[in-house]
Amino acid sequence: MHDFTMPQWAIDRVLQRRGKLHVHDDMDPRRTALIVVDLQNGFMVPEHTSMPVQTAIGTVPNVNRLAATLRETGGKVFWIQNTTNEASLTEWSNWFAMSRPELLQERLACFQAGAPGHALYPALEVKPEDDIVYKYRFSAFIQGSSDLPQRLRDGGFEYVLIVGTVTNVCCESSARDAMMLNFKTVMVSDGNSAHSDAEHTATLAAFYAVFGDVMDTDMVIASLRKNAARVVAAAD
């Protein structure tokens, strides 16, 4: 995983703006969704990609811990899969035009539904009650990418936890758009992965300073358990 420390400038900015370090530590587990972004063979296994995110495999135990805790406390897990199809070449032509032809063909083939690269990484503990969501853009929340926002609203979810890869691409895009759509959004620092510590840190600092909250896995789990216990106590 990454060597990550939140920069002091970001901490100072958050305290100045919000008056506390973590504005979303009150998350109600029953209204919280774990959004697992693109932890697929095509981003993690060298056999399927020329640019594997080497830090991604190290986040898998934390993602599984978060998923298990959220299920236990009443929330839901959504596994997001980056997906390409024939329409991608025309509907998102500008993005594909920026890649070398050989990389373009690799990406198109790798992430077609049913391809080995499209599959979720096998060490992830996916359960029958979880949701699988295909997305067709970097962000899972932008219009035309997936039906995730509607699924979340239909389920009454208010908080979203963002984990996955790549921190500064699909994870950041999804997290920012989630906040723009009025979800209370947390990026999990040791549940995200990028190609370098510098990219990882820059994204988390920028997101924390303006868009939402950043916590590590242990803090998220502690908050979920504390708030679940509070809900039970209030019901007694």
**2 located within any domain:** no
Give the range among 23-37, 85-99, 123-137, 141-155 with minimum mean pLDDT. Answer: 85-99
Entry pTM: 0.96
User: Is residue 3, in this structure, part of any structural domain at all?
Assistant: no
In a domain, 19, yes or no: yes
pLDDT greater at residue 236 or residue 42: 42
> Can you tell me the mean pLDDT for 11-28?
97
Helix (H, G, I), strand (E, B) or coil at 190: strand
pLDDT given for residue 216 in this prediction: 98
* pLDDT above 70 (res 184): yes
Confidence label for 103 from pLDDT (cuts 50, 70 and 90)? confident
Domain count, the chain: 1
Name which residue leads in pLDDT, 103 or 170. Answer: 170
Backbone angles phi and psi of 217, in degrees to 5: -60, -45
Q: Please check whether residue 155 lies inside any domain of the structure.
A: yes
In order, the DSSP letters of 45-101 are: -GGG-SS--TTHHHHHHHHHHHHHHHHHHT-EEEEEEE-B-TTHHHHTHHHHHTS-H
- Measuring CA to CA, how many Å separate 55 from each of 34, 65, 82, 189? 20, 17, 18, 12
The tokens for 145 are: 């990418």
Question: What is the pLDDT at residue 230?
Answer: 85
The range of the structural domain enclosing residue 156 comes to 8-235
Residue 84 pairs with which residues in a beta bridge? 112
Q: Which residues are CB-neighbours of 139 under 8 A, at least 6 positions away?
A: 145, 170, 173, 174, 176, 177
Smallest Cα–Cα separation from 85: which of 43, 144, 173? 144
Share of the chain above pLDDT 70, in %: 99
For the stretch 136-145, what's the b/e string if a residue is b when 16 or more beta carbons lie within 10 angstroms of its beta carbon?
A: bbbbbbbeeb
Phi, psi of 196 (to 5 degrees): -155, 155
Burial class of residue 104 in the structure, from the number of CB atoms within 10 Å of its CB (0-12 exposed, 13-18 middle, 19+ buried): middle
| Averaged pLDDT score across all residues of the chain | 95
Residue 1 lies in a domain: no
For residue 201, which amino acid is it?
A: T
Residue 94, in any domain of the structure: yes
Place of tokens 């002091």: 8
Whether residue 21 is predicted with pLDDT greater than 70 in this model: the reply is yes
**Could you read off the pLDDT of 34-93 as tens digits, one per residue?**
999 999 999 999 999 888 999 999 999 999 999 999 999 999 999 999 999 888 888 888
Q: Domain of 73: which CATH number?
A: 3.40.50.850
Q: What is the pLDDT of residue 236?
A: 62
Q: How long a stretch of residues is the chain? A: 236
DSSP character at residue 183: -
Question: Confidence band (pLDDT; 50, 70, 90) for 98?
Answer: confident
The pair of three-digit structure tokens given for residue 104, joined into one six-digit string: 């373009």
